[in-house]
Amino acid sequence: MSRVFSGIQPSGELHLGNYLGAIKNWVRLQGEYESFFCIVDYHAIITAYAPDDLRRRRRDMAVSLVAAGIDPARATLFVQSRVPEHTELAWIFNTVTPLGELERQTQFKDKASRQESVSAGLLNYPVLQAADILLYLAEHVPVGEDQVQHLELSRVVARRWNAAFATEEAPYFPEPKALLTPTRRVMGLDGQAKMSKSMGNTVGLLEEPDAIWAKLRPAVTDPARIRKTDPGTPEVCNIYHLHKAFSPPAVVDEVAVKCSTAAWGCIDCKKVLFEHMNAELTPIRRRAAEIRETPALLDDALARGAARAQEVARGTMAEVKTRMGLD
Ligand code: SF4
């Protein structure tokens, strides 16, 4: 069984954007690959933060992941800082990573251009990401389109390290391949930008139905549908794409027809979406409440995940150090 690695920031409870854009896919992958899923708290400290808040966000993320269907008995679920080999390998990789490659990373250029001063951590973030993946000799990484460039850097790092300390015929680190996440990026309910906490346009995975409806009701739809009698174009409407994520195919077809023929209004359409969202989200909310009632079980699962991850990580580091004369 080949191996996948993927990480997620400890950003607190999941929202529909990261649930549909990544985690639903992880749940599927855990049955098909040997899966390592990591809450990447070392990545989260490159900008200012409050330690207690980080602890809370990390915990909330772990609760959300398990509630959403990540099964610690099938996948190795762990917190990055519990496996110090991540930063050890990142240092080693820093020594083979060309500076120019890091400076060319779009996310770095974008953030650096908006800040007066940036930390070296921001520049080296993709090196730690390469270490995260390669520590487990992962062959595949589920990524969204915006992460493909970082993955390319992991491939460059693997190639350069292999060129120095392995042979072309028998490379040590695999060059990880992207498994593109099938769901296209999820827009916020404002219809303006990708759903993200920083944009304040999210719907929390664990939010109560009343709160979800309060956001869904006024959500932006096809601007051409000014009156109920105006036919719409489902493809340009975010609500239609959410139907594709939550509603059965027959309902999605019905939405497309009723929208384009003005057979119903947007509120009718949203009510049907809300019903299907609730059918999927209610069991997740229930599981999250159960997990919070038995915190020791989650602690144990994360400790087991970290132990399993560290077992693999130590094996990789032993080999790396031997090959590099660091043993
Ligand atoms: S009917 Fe549905 S798909 Fe069409 S514009 Fe309204 S909300 Fe969007």
Atom from ligand 1 closest to the CA of residue 270: 7
Q: Tell me the two tokens of residue 168.
A: 């072309």
State the Cα–Cα distance between residues 17 and 28, nearest whole angstrom: 17
Residue 28 has pLDDT above 90, yes or no: yes
pLDDT at 144: 79
CA of 25 to the centre of ligand 1 (A): 26
Side chain identity, residue 166: A
In three-state secondary structure terms, 52 is helix
- Catalytic residue set: 111, 194, 197
Nearest to 101 by CA among 127, 122, 79, 80: 127
pLDDT at 180: 86
CA of 203 to the centre of ligand 1 (A): 19
Q: Exposed, middle or buried, 250 (CB in 10 Å: 0-12/13-18/19+)?
A: exposed
Residue 117 has pLDDT above 90, yes or no: no
pLDDT at 238: 94
Q: Whose CA is nearest to atom 7 of ligand 1?
A: 266
**Bridge partners of residue 5, in order along the sequence:** 36
Rounded to the nearest integer, the mean pLDDT of the chain is: 94
Lowest mean pLDDT among 151-160, 182-191, 226-235: 182-191
Asked if residues 95 and 22 have their Cβ atoms less than 8 Å apart, the reply is no
Q: How many CB atoms lie within 10 A of CB 117?
A: 5
Chain position carrying tokens 């992207």: 178
Q: What is the pTM of this model?
A: 0.93
CB 222 less than 6 A from any atom of ligand 1: yes
Choose the residue to mutate in 189, 215, 217, 225 for probing ligand 1, maximizing ligand atoms within 8 Å of C-beta: 225
CB 255 less than 6 A from any atom of ligand 1: yes
